[in-house]
Amino acid sequence: MRYGHFDNSMKEYVIDRPDVPVSWTNYLGTEDTGTVISHNAGGYMFSGDPETHRITRFRPNGVPLDRPGHYVYIRDNSDGDYWSISWQPVGKDLTKASYRTRHGLSYSVFECDYKGIHASQKLFIPRGRKCEIWDVILRNDGTSERRLSLFGYCEFSFNIIEIDNQNFQMSMYCSGSRYADGVIECDNFYNPGMFHYFTSTFEPEGFDCVRDSFIGVYHTESNPIGVEKGVLSSSTELGNNQCGALSTGLVLAPGESKRFVFILGVGDLMAGKEEKAYFSSTSNVDKAFDELCSYWNAKIETLQIKTPNSDMDIMLNTWNLYQSETNVVFSRFASFIEVGGRTGLGYRDTAQDAMCVVASNPSQCRKRIIQLLRGLTSSGYGLHLFSPEVFDPDVPKTEPFKSPTVKPMPEPSSMVHGLKDTCSDDALWLVPSICEFIRETGDLSFLDQRFGYADGGEGTVLEHMERILEFSARQVGKSGICLGLRADWNDCINLGGGESALVSFLHYWATDEFIGLLAKSGHADRIGHFTEMKAKIKEACERELWDGEWYIRGITKSGRKIGTAADEEGKVHLESNSWAVCSGLADGEHARKAVEAIDKYLYGEWGIHLNAPSYSKPDDEIGFVTRVYRGIKENGAIFSHPNPWAWVAAAKLGMGDLAMRFYNSLCPARQNDRIEVRQSEPYTYCQFVMGRDHSAYGRARHPWLTGSAGWAYFAATHYILGIRPDYDGLVIDPCIPASWDGFEADRVFRGRKIHIRVTNPHHIQKGRPVFFSLDELEGGNLNVEMKN
Ligand code: GLC
């Protein structure tokens, strides 16, 4: 069953049936102000930090889905009938009204045709501004004049989400509203200076600032009393629940169109008036939208491909890049799953996100890398989840609030946790991310820049990297394998004083990457030490972790190996077997068998399972994974994030057919016609897909903000298509299905526009890597024939 299609020329996903099984969301905003919006215009807006600077309210996991939102209602004044431009919240009969949602790159358009009126509402956040534009057009497609009213509506939130959800003593009495000159101002009175506004470029005939006056008691957003009656009540109040509701009447002659713009933003009445004046010239609205499109076009141009796999083209040319960029901007903190309580940066997630889109967003990746360098302790471990502002000397530290009920800015020292709360993998991801940043940008001078450590002192970037590797070298258990600590990449495998195969493989990878960097950056004298470190890791891994047919996952504190042939549950694990190969540690038969085990035990039609068979009995020596239902999340679901690791592993071994089969199984675009099973958006990777041990096998959950986005993009572009930046040039090293005749790509690398043409006349899966120096790239055209 399908609900929509990809419009590749517009780079949009078009939903033509709005009754999709779950909310299909999009992200507006490319800087710090953002909105998460569903295909039914439900969602919320925030600026900077969605935990402490929420603008509009959202009732997560609610019934009905995604309420409230950023809604526009239309009322036919001849008979009192009314509807919303998005299908919800009014929810007209779909046999009488037709709706379309177009999710594009940082904008969404809702369209509706009902009773001869065509209406559209385009939402976007202009670059460089802290406001959201609602660009509304109404057209009379009928033959008679129409007398209509138009209403824009949003519900304001108290700015601190915890208070908004739990402490009505504060939220309801410390915020208020006023109206003047066509602007509604919502005052978060408790936080002096924090205001939000809702305004329009037309002069409103009616307004409401109090939610319950607009909606009406025992009414909902589906039938607000203000729209039902056709008149608003000019409500304002100091205290109570605030909203923005503005209305106007209009007459549309047959064939006539009219345009109306609403603006929702950060700032007080004056700020609202300024934006109202600015956007009253619709050419400024168009200009702002064009700027947004140019911003995205520049990103999209960094890599465009044309391959025999059209779904791969759709994902890599647009959607996968878009999702990865969204992750590097909004991290994990704003979605319909994370609704404001989990802000700050997760160390490992951020390090991985920043590795994957350096080509399209070097400045944001650099910013994230610096934040992580400052979140590293002097002993070499990263703070698992931290607020980067706390460690940024350029961010002014606010004075403690007078009220004891508002969280003051934490003292940096209170955020530095000890070893007990350290995840063993966190900082290891940063080393290859920095290497990748330098390979893409060529900026070796970055290594000499100095940054503070979270617990005091400072060092160069290179020194930070050394400390990370030394930390893991020290933190090993009896067998010489890295300790599991609180968790490794898998939050739910909690080996504590036991040992993690995954972390030792990551340590090997990071050390190997670092050695490559030392060689290029004039630090050859340090190579010997790290080469010894690498050899020691390899020796321990091969001695302790090979099980005969695959690599084990770890060793518990009491010395029990997990992920062995003798295990009935959790026999084979994806993380250790993919990373044995990705890291370059495993070779020959062990490498091949590890990938074969992934294929034999973990692969399924919806992707690769994280482990199998899933656990059915709680076992705290292994961890929380054993307390999750079978086939869900880390317990034997198809956890998307590590899937691309298996693509990299297969590609490294030259198994192009297998890499593509793995790729295709998880590819969202390929599931566009199977929504009755997948349920979630077919244009983003989801955190996980229910595994075969669950009755809902194939159902995808938690879209958008997941490490799978970056990794899918990185693995497919760098290892399947094999287009990899190197310190002094570009490597072309594809590993593709034997049936492919080749492919083409346009890549921007260090300011050069390069056209790459790969041919595969001998129908092999992998040839010899070809290196092009910067001089060779000057020509702009690269022809690579795959050969052994
Ligand atoms: C979630 C976390 C990520 C972790 C993964 C596996 O996606 O954000 O940090 O690695 O789960 O547990």
Ligand 1: nearest atom to the Cα of 491: 12
User: 3-state SS of 677-725?
Assistant: HHCCCCCCCEEEECCCCCCCCCCEEEECCCHHHHHHHHHHHHHHCCEEE
The CB of 335 under 6 Å from ligand 1? The reply is no
Ligand 1: nearest atom to the Cα of 346: 9
Q: How far is the CA of 687 from the centre of ligand 1 (A)?
A: 9
What pLDDT is attached to residue 403?
64
Q: 773 is written with which tokens?
A: 């120096």
CA separation for the pair 672, 82 (Å, rounded): 33
CA 730 vs. chain centroid, Å, equals: 27
What pLDDT is attached to residue 397?
75
Ligand 1: nearest atom to the Cα of 634: 12
Q: How far is the CA of 38 from the centre of ligand 1 (A)?
A: 24
Are 703 and 678 contacting, i.e. CB atoms less than 8 angstroms apart? Answer: no
- CA angle, 314 then 317 then 318, to 5°: 80
CA separation for the pair 312, 680 (Å, rounded): 18
Q: How far is the CA of 429 from the centre of ligand 1 (A)?
A: 13
Ligand 1: nearest atom to the Cα of 349: 9
Are 79 and 117 contacting, i.e. CB atoms less than 8 angstroms apart? Answer: no
Ligand 1: nearest atom to the Cα of 348: 9
Ligand 1: nearest atom to the Cα of 687: 7
DSSP code, position 118? E
CA separation for the pair 49, 274 (Å, rounded): 24
Tens of pLDDT, residue by residue over 654-695, are 999 999 999 999 999 999 999 999 999 999 999 999 999 999
Q: How far is the CA of 701 from the centre of ligand 1 (A)?
A: 14
What pLDDT is attached to residue 169?
87
Which residues of the chain have a pLDDT value below 70?
398-409
The CB of 642 under 6 Å from ligand 1? The reply is no
CA separation for the pair 312, 296 (Å, rounded): 19
The CB of 491 under 6 Å from ligand 1? The reply is yes
Are 38 and 314 contacting, i.e. CB atoms less than 8 angstroms apart? Answer: no
Rg (CA), the chain: 27
Name the residue at shortest CA distance from atom 10 of ligand 1: 489
Name the residue at shortest CA distance from atom 8 of ligand 1: 349
Are 82 and 90 contacting, i.e. CB atoms less than 8 angstroms apart? Answer: yes
Q: How far is the CA of 641 from the centre of ligand 1 (A)?
A: 8
The CB of 634 under 6 Å from ligand 1? The reply is yes
Dmax over Cα atoms in the chain, in whole Å?
84
Cα torsion 218, 221, 226, 227 to 10°: value is: -130
Q: How far is the CA of 59 from the centre of ligand 1 (A)?
A: 25
DSSP codes of every residue in 572-587: EEHHHHHHHHHTT---
- Annotation says 208 is catalytic: no
DSSP codes of every residue in 189-249: TTSTT-EEEEEESS--SEEEEEHHHHH-TT--TTS-HHHHHT-------BSS-EEEEEEEE
The CB of 424 under 6 Å from ligand 1? The reply is no
CA separation for the pair 199, 456 (Å, rounded): 47
Cis bond leading into 769, ω under 30°? no
The CB of 327 under 6 Å from ligand 1? The reply is no
Q: How far is the CA of 493 from the centre of ligand 1 (A)?
A: 11
Tens of pLDDT, residue by residue over 197-209, are 999 999 999 999 9
* Length of the chain in terms of residues written: 788
Q: 8 is written with which tokens?
A: 């590749």
The CB of 490 under 6 Å from ligand 1? The reply is yes
The CB of 349 under 6 Å from ligand 1? The reply is yes
Q: Which of 32, 113, 421, 491 is catalytic?
A: 491
The CB of 348 under 6 Å from ligand 1? The reply is yes
**Of 330, 491, 686, which is best to mutate to test ligand 1, by the most ligand atoms within 8 angstroms of its C-beta?**
491
DSSP code, position 6? E
The CB of 426 under 6 Å from ligand 1? The reply is no
Place of tokens 């070499």: 380
Q: How far is the CA of 188 from the centre of ligand 1 (A)?
A: 34
The CB of 340 under 6 Å from ligand 1? The reply is no
**Of 323, 350, 641, 688, which is best to mutate to test ligand 1, by the most ligand atoms within 8 angstroms of its C-beta?**
641
Give the other-Cβ count within 10 Å of 231's Cβ.
14
